Structure 1
Amino acid sequence: TFACPIFSMTGAVWTRQGSRVIQSIQNASSRRSHTALKSEYDVLVIGGGRNAAYLQKGGLQTAVLERRHVLGGAAVTEELFPGFHFSRCSYLLSLFRPHIYEDLELKKHGLKIYRRNPHAFSPMLEDGVGGAPPRSLTLGSDMVLNRKEIGKFSQKDAMVGHFRAAQPLLDAPPVDIIGLTSGSLRTRITAAKTLMPLVKCGLKLGKNIPDFYEIVTAPIMKILNQWFESEPLKATLATDAVIGAMTSPYNPGSGYVLLHHVMGELEKEKGSWGYVEGGMGGVSNAIASSARSHGASIFTEKDVQEILVGPDGVAKGVVLKDGSEIHSKLVLSNATPYVTFKKLTPQASLSPEFIKAIDQFDYTSPSMVLWMYKRTSTHKHKNTNKHTHSLSLIHYGGFSFDRPMLEMTIPSVLDPTLAPPGAHVVSFFTQFTPYYLEGKEWTDQDKEAYADLVFDWVEQYAPGFKSSVVGRDILTPPDLERIFGLTGGNIFHGSMSLDQLYLARPLPCLSNYRTPIKGLYLCGSGCHPGGGVMGSPGWNAALAVMADMKRS
């Protein structure tokens, strides 16, 4: 049985307002149970701060200021309709760094994960042979079953292990080029320590360094054509090479995007992905609970209007939208580089050259997110009789309104807390969609038409699907920007292209999390190592802060 209930957001104004009232009451209650916002702290973190616990543990009185009524940035759970809970933006967990998971004792603070197995189900539109159903490809954790599945299309293909040697680079700031090439001998010796992650990466790779280099820089289809024969397998793997990226699997650099998506792990299972119980807000809530247990303060509905910069060019705190000032010794921004420097930082504090460089950072987004809920249905899926929670319909091209690329997940198959009995919540991550439609903004009619197109494609694979839909929430790139602060709607806080990685993320002069404003640091996904719910940017930024505190 292909079970997945769904919903149409016409008339969703009431449900969103009702949800906001419910969540505001809950958040108000939560705020009352904690200390009130003070006028001064050691550190202020703008936006959800995964580094707040580390800064607080380091002896810095830390406060997190979240703009929205719900904590977590893009990793949130929202009740868009009574009884239905949606991971409204980020929807899966894998990249979160294991050492942070353990350091913050997230299990103790309520984090529970349902592993996604099988990982992917890719159905095919074809006529079955001899009365058999159409073929499909299912991949999971069992390598024996994977080979059996692949064997339906090709006996020559073999599963090839993904390189994870880049992991040492995730848990440390990039190489300190300025420190290595200038300054005192002591400064150069200290900077030389930043080479160690590169050395570890190289030692892990050994003789595979040329292969690794090729994977990172090449079009992923070049690599997959070398490794595999069957089109369904190559298409399934290539999907992770374009997720969230305005690129094609035939473009250079798409190999790195795939690498970025497969380098994670969950509870020591390499490459595993999973759903968080209660939705992705469960991650943010567990991190917040951990931070509070160490004494950090966390506040919602505190919208920062401006970063205070003194005449000496040093960050002094922030001004909120209500006009109140909060002072601090340090400010860390989890917002995108564009928001941080173009909207929050006084422009007179930055050089014209720096502002121009910030304007060149690419935030192009190809993605739309659709969430829906639906009644449980008993219609048969044409390609399987299994109850699956992840399905990919793969077509590649430009801006795609005829045959969009779809990743469909049904987390409530594994997590019963997300929907009432007899119903499910369903998500679609779709590509490729532009920020503007032929030079004009998306209208409600445009969004509804696109959602109908998505459902029409699913209907071809699972007849009866559309009739089970109860309602839907449609988020275009502008919606992702407006609601979650994702500049351009880019889920990674900036494209993960080769020119915007490692030493160049977001700019060569910003790759070590420090900014031209003394006391102001970046700590979001716009920094190395990039997007995804992984915690590394916040961890690395905290390391930079603590190192600077020791030197001062």
Structure 2
Amino acid sequence: MWKSFKPLLAMAAATLTDRGRRAVTLLRTGFRSSHTTIKPSYDAVIIGGGHNGLVAAAYLQKGGVKTAVLERRHVLGGAAVSEELFPGFRFSRCSYLLSLLRPHIYKDLELKKHGLKVYMRNPHSFTPLLEDGVKGAPPRSLTLGPDLIKNQNEISKFSQKDAKAYPEFVAHLETLAGAIHPLLDAPPVDIPGLTAGSLRKRLAAAATLMPLVKFGLKLGRNFTDFYEITAAPIMKILTQWFESEPLKATLATDGVIGAMTSPNNPGSGYVLLHHVMGELEKEKGAWGYVEGGMGGVSQAIAKAARSYGADIFTEKDVGQIIIGSDGAAKGVALKDGTEIHSKVVLSNATPYVTFKNLTPQGALSPKFMKAVDQIDYTSPVTKINVAIDKLPNFLAFPTPDDKPAPLHQCSIHLNCESVDVLETAYKDAVNGRPSARPMMEMTIPSVLDPTLAPPGCHVVSLFTQFTPYHIEGQEWTEQDREAFADNVFDWVEQYAPGFKKSVVGRDVLSPPDLERIFGLTGGNIFHGSMSLDQLYLARPLPSLSDYCSPIKGLYLCGSGCHPGGGVMGSPGWNAALMAISDLKSR
């Protein structure tokens, strides 16, 4: 019956206005502004209602700091947002999986009480191969999940040696990733405080060494291994452990996901580590779907913040940070001319947007602004959200009855059967062209969460790489977007014939679109590349790693700060504690 409505759905999707989408989104998600009227002054104003800004608001308000959040868009969440793009289909439009959210934030803010529900996935990943089956059998595939015995059985299809080594590799990664946790929940070491100032300041700065000491103690004799994996190409690490291409390529995807880098480039090892250091429902390294889409995370955090008394507003577009005659931040001015004064301002925007677009010209030194210009925001990502009326049926694991199989609930890696395929895709983008054979991570969250799509239908997320910000020096056109999406669908079709016929709507977000819609400079999902020169003491800049800006009372609280990207909450938590401490010392 649904197929008979397919033409109507396509027509509705094509004609749905931005205002209509906004109204539908507000009705479906409940992301409305506070019922209170915005006040002329607060203790703290937060620019941007992304998840880190909302976390900061919750902790500030919980600490007795009267706080307001001002979100530019009609919907809260920043990149962690749910939107109904086609009638009846709700998408995690940008970020799409949860794992990295810090457990203490989840507990402190009682997010479960405030409606956060997560669907665990089993298995975790499925990598089908494009090959002719042997004696009529389906092509091979690799499925990985929480059961190590099952994983070994899967890997043994390609290498008995790799199957034997895999459990030790997983344990090794867990050791290295677990050691990082003390560093996530605290600002980086205060080097200036340790090397200058009064004895009192030096003693206070010495306290910032404790997380680093805990990190070192947790690592112990594994310190050299940690150094190697953070500095080396991920392929150097994987080749030490494994020989089979499907396994190495599947694991390598986490070393390049969201990053304009190759598995053979130095630093890709850390990107892998960053993606395995989370946990979900106490399962280490697991990723899951949030009920109602990723906006459910933001909604739960916003509810927590409001329960403490924070005011949260949408459609409040900040035009400029107000700087007083003493050179300190005094609040913000909206683009409609409204001024909101405050003792401190926290920016959830990228460092580039904060200092280049929102800070008055002349308030910062030319040397500092030159450093801001050099922050790397290169992005390889084009996100495609797809509405379908039938589940994909993969040649490597046929499911002809259209009933969900375990493989449908996990991350499906396409064009990931060999590292050479990933390397070629990367080189295409480096040369200014979208990848001819793009790396893809497909997820179908509606398999576990029926609230996302009409009965019998599903929502699909295609996180694709590699695409440059400019195509051979030119801006993306609508024809470029459609041509790239067509190529992506052609590749999906090779793995799952019939996929293209099932499509009833698609939303294509190139790097410039991610920048325009979500404020992600360069389209970078991490608010800045997670390269070694932009981590810890150097994130986002060596002179700007403690959340405090050169302007007194202005703080950064977004993913551009330590410890970086992902729906983690740590930047918001750390920045809030820093602001509270400074307010108390005034």
Which TM bucket (shorter chain)?
over 0.9
Stretch moving more, 380-389 or 335-344: 380-389
How far does the alpha carbon of each residue in 1:262-314 deviate from its partner, in whole angstroms, 9 at most, with x for none? 00001211101000000000000000000000001100000000000011100
1:102 aligned to 2:107? yes
Change (3 A) 1:270 1:194: same
Give the letter aligned to residue 161 of structure 2: K
How much does 1:12 deviate?
3.0
How far does the alpha carbon of each residue in 1:189-223 deviate from its partner, in whole angstroms, 9 at most, with x for none? 11001011111111111111101110111000000
Instruction: Output the CA distance in 2 between the equivalents of 1:84 and 1:166.
Output: 38
TM-score by length of 2: 0.91
Task: Tell me the C-alpha RMSD between the 2 structures.
Answer: 1.8
Q: Counterparts of 1:203-222 in structure 2 under 5 Å?
A: 203-222=217-236
How far does the alpha carbon of each residue in 1:235-267 deviate from its partner, in whole angstroms, 9 at most, with x for none? 000000001111001000000000000000012
SS of the counterpart of 1:430?
A: strand
Give the letter aligned to residue 483 of structure 2: A
Q: Which runs of 5+ in 1 are unaligned?
A: none
Instruction: Output the CA distance in 2 between the equivalents of 1:232 and 1:26.
Output: 40
SS of the counterpart of 2:214?
A: helix
Counterpart position of 2:544:
510
Instruction: Output the CA distance in 2 between the equivalents of 1:404 and 1:378.
Output: 18
How much does 1:179 deviate?
0.4
Equivalent of 1:257 in 259, 271, 282: 271
Give the letter aligned to residue 491 of structure 2: W
How much does 1:130 deviate?
2.3
1:535 aligned to 2:569? yes
Give the letter aligned to residue 138 of structure 1: T
Counterpart position of 2:528:
494
Counterpart position of 1:67:
72
How much does 1:511 deviate?
0.1
Instruction: Output the CA distance in 2 between the equivalents of 1:62 and 1:183.
Output: 32
Equivalent of 1:374 in 388, 406, 419: 388
Is the 2:267–2:531 Cα contact (8 Å) retained in structure 1?
yes
Instruction: Output the CA distance in 1 between the equivalents of 2:559 and 2:583.
Output: 23
Instruction: Output the CA distance in 1 between the equivalents of 2:299 and 2:82.
Output: 10
1:180 aligned to 2:194? yes
Give the letter aligned to residue 247 of structure 1: T
Is the 1:15–1:82 Cα contact (8 Å) retained in structure 2?
no
Counterpart position of 1:460:
494
- Give percent identity, aligned residues only: 72
Give the letter aligned to residue 523 of structure 2: G
Change (3 A) 1:323 1:136: same
1:126 aligned to 2:131? yes
How much does 1:132 deviate?
1.6
How much does 1:348 deviate?
1.1
Give the letter aligned to residue 46 of structure 2: V
Counterpart position of 2:116:
111
1:87 aligned to 2:92? yes
Equivalent of 2:209 in 173, 191, 195: 195
1:149 aligned to 2:154? yes
Instruction: Output the CA distance in 2 between the equivalents of 1:378 and 1:231.
Output: 25
Is the 2:559–2:571 Cα contact (8 Å) retained in structure 1?
yes
TM-score by length of 1: 0.96
Is the 2:85–2:91 Cα contact (8 Å) retained in structure 1?
yes
Equivalent of 2:412 in 387, 391, 409: 391
Counterpart position of 1:23:
25
How much does 1:546 deviate?
1.9
Counterpart position of 1:423:
457
SS of the counterpart of 2:459?
A: strand
Could you list the runs of 4 or more consecutive aligned residues of structure 1 that deviate by over 4 angstroms after TM superposition? 5-11, 24-29, 377-380
Is the 1:9–1:473 Cα contact (8 Å) retained in structure 2?
no
Is the 1:46–1:304 Cα contact (8 Å) retained in structure 2?
yes
Instruction: Output the CA distance in 2 between the equivalents of 1:183 and 1:127.
Output: 69
Instruction: Output the CA distance in 2 between the equivalents of 1:418 and 1:327.
Output: 40
Give the letter aligned to residue 423 of structure 1: C
Stretch moving more, 258-267 or 125-134: 125-134
Q: Which runs of 5+ in 2 are unaligned?
A: 1-5, 400-404
Higher helix share: 2
Give the letter aligned to residue 487 of structure 2: L
Equivalent of 2:14 in 7, 12, 15: 12
How much does 1:230 deviate?
1.0
Equivalent of 1:480 in 501, 514, 517: 514
Equivalent of 1:232 in 237, 243, 246: 246
Give the letter aligned to residue 36 of structure 1: T
Is the 1:42–1:61 Cα contact (8 Å) retained in structure 2?
yes
